[in-house]
Amino acid sequence: MFTVVDEAASLIRPGRAAAVLEAVAASVWLAGVVMAPVWFGSNVPLVWGAHALLFGIALAIYASGGLAASRPWPVPLAWLKLPLAALAIALGWAAIQTVAGVPAVLQNPVWGEVSAALGQPVAGAVSVYPVAGRMAILWAATAAAVFILAVQLGRDPGRARIIVYAIAVAGGIIAAYGLIVYFEGNQWVLWQPKHAYRNALTATFINKNNYGAFAGMGLICSFGLLLARLPGSSPYQTRRPRSALLLRGVAIVVLGAVFAADCAALLLSGSRAASAATVLGLVVVLLLWLTRLPAWRRPLFLAFGLTALGIILFASSSSELLVSRLPYLDQDMATRLAVDARTIVAIKEAPWTGYGLGAFQQTFAAFRDTSLPTQGRWEYAHNDWLEALMTLGIPAGLMLWLAFGWIGYRCVAGALNRRRDAIYPAIGAGACALAFAHTLVDFTMQIQGFALPFLAVVGIGVAQSWSSRPVPAGVDKPI
């Protein structure tokens, strides 16, 4: 006989199933994010495939939970329509670039040369190297899955706190590992002998600049979380029990240790750009936090922030490796600017179609001139913004600019307008400042070990950038 208890149970089970599926998705997603920097910065094609599978499964599990409970997502996709549409346009064009046999007007001229050399027709494509384009699309789709899940999972303040703490602590552990390896002779990256940057700390990364940016993001996360833990950080605090105060003290000690480890690791990496971009990110977090506080509360936080920045600047001036590289700054920047100039020349040659997402290395060889050193090859433009325009073409490349610009805007708006939990958008804005500045002179955003944790952090910032108050019926966007 169907009883009231049975009826109630039938209503509860879908909710329980959805909660279980959501917890599983969150656990899989967070494990993948915090482990991404470990596998040589995830700059390995095999790891790219593993990440695509892992985060694709996590997204599918999360979506299944929503369907099981017949409930909407915490952040409706309509709220994300601008960045998602921009990304869809960019990736849609990237996919078209890989298609063989497109009209001749769209094909890159290199295919005509290949046809003439072989003496037979060749089905050309927009991309000069379609295989790289397919891999790049998979890479970008993986990054999109990480960001979308970060926004959905990070809508809950408690889970947002756990995620940001987990990323910060994981970064501190990686920094501690790097310090141990460095002071033991700096001969290894995980289980492989180190073949580059033997005088610089790279922790689990191969490239010191990529690791420097990751350590800087860890500094920004721990700095922001420390700001939120200071007395008087929220005007809505009530008196806390002794156990809560003890937990706060433990958190401050842990975050302080993480900050110190990341700071030491960043300076020993010797990355000038990462150090400067990190200071910029920290200043952004501090200024955004100060603007939302009453004037009488600002001195404590200003003193804390200036002390943290002072420690970093003083330690930077004491870092032998960092200081020893400063005299070469003009020379290195001249090389970077020469690459930028040749990249701009390439953009002008194919402004609408581009040369194929992921095909920078194969394309750039044709545009090198005497302004660049003859030895070595350029796998990346060392300027992700220009590389996007070159490989995708200006219209589709600007779509990527738009997507990231929207993310930065949402984080800044949330830090200024939220009444509670504003620290997460502030941290996201600081991470954006670091990443956007660093990618002007490097290829940080193309390394998953940095990009995936970065997208997780800014995804949390976006999720918390909107008011937690219910949206009135008939309103299609948050207020």
Q: Model confidence over 267-305: pLDDT tens digits? A: 888 888 888 999 999 999 999 988 887 777 777 777 877
**Rounded to an integer, what distance in angstroms lies between the CA atom of residue 184 and that of residue 191?**
14
Quick one: which of 246, 207, 219 has its CA closest to 43?
A: 207
For position 426, what pLDDT does the model report?
95
For position 379, what pLDDT does the model report?
85
pLDDT range class, residue 307, cuts 50, 70, 90: confident
Could you give the angle at which helices 272-291 and 394-417 cross, rounded to 10 degrees? Answer: 40
**Rounded to an integer, what distance in angstroms lies between the CA atom of residue 148 and that of residue 141?**
10
In 3-state terms the chain splits into helix, strand, coil percentages (rounded to 5) of 70, 0, 30
For position 233, what pLDDT does the model report?
57
* Of 202 and 419, the one with more pLDDT: 202
pLDDT range class, residue 9, cuts 50, 70, 90: very low
CA distances from 469 to 14, 66, 163, 341, 418 (A): 25, 21, 22, 49, 11
Phi, psi of 188, rounded to the nearest 5 degrees: -135, 150
Which string of DSSP letters, residue by residue, matches 76-128?
-GGGGHHHHHHHHHHHHHHHHHT-TT--TTTS-THHHHHHHHHTS-----SSS
Among the ranges 111-115, 233-237, 270-274, 347-351, which has the highest mean pLDDT value?
347-351
* pLDDT tens string 111-164: 777 777 877 777 788 888 999 999 999 999 999 999 999 999 999 999 999 999
Quick one: which of 242, 227, 385 has its CA closest to 304?
A: 227
Least confident range of 123-127, 294-298, 348-352, 404-408: 294-298
Phi, psi of 193, rounded to the nearest 5 degrees: -60, 145
User: Tokens 């070595």 — which residue?
Assistant: 376
* pLDDT tens string 34-72: 999 998 888 888 899 999 999 999 999 988 876 766 677
For position 12, what pLDDT does the model report?
46
**Predicted structure pTM score:** 0.90
**Rounded to an integer, what distance in angstroms lies between the CA atom of residue 229 and that of residue 172?**
18
Q: What are the beta bridge partners of residue 188?
A: 193
pLDDT range class, residue 6, cuts 50, 70, 90: very low
pLDDT range class, residue 229, cuts 50, 70, 90: confident
For position 381, what pLDDT does the model report?
85
User: Tokens 């109630």 — which residue?
Assistant: 8
Please report, in angstroms and rounded to a whole number, the separation of the first and last CA atoms in the chain. Answer: 48
* pLDDT tens string 423-433: 999 999 999 99
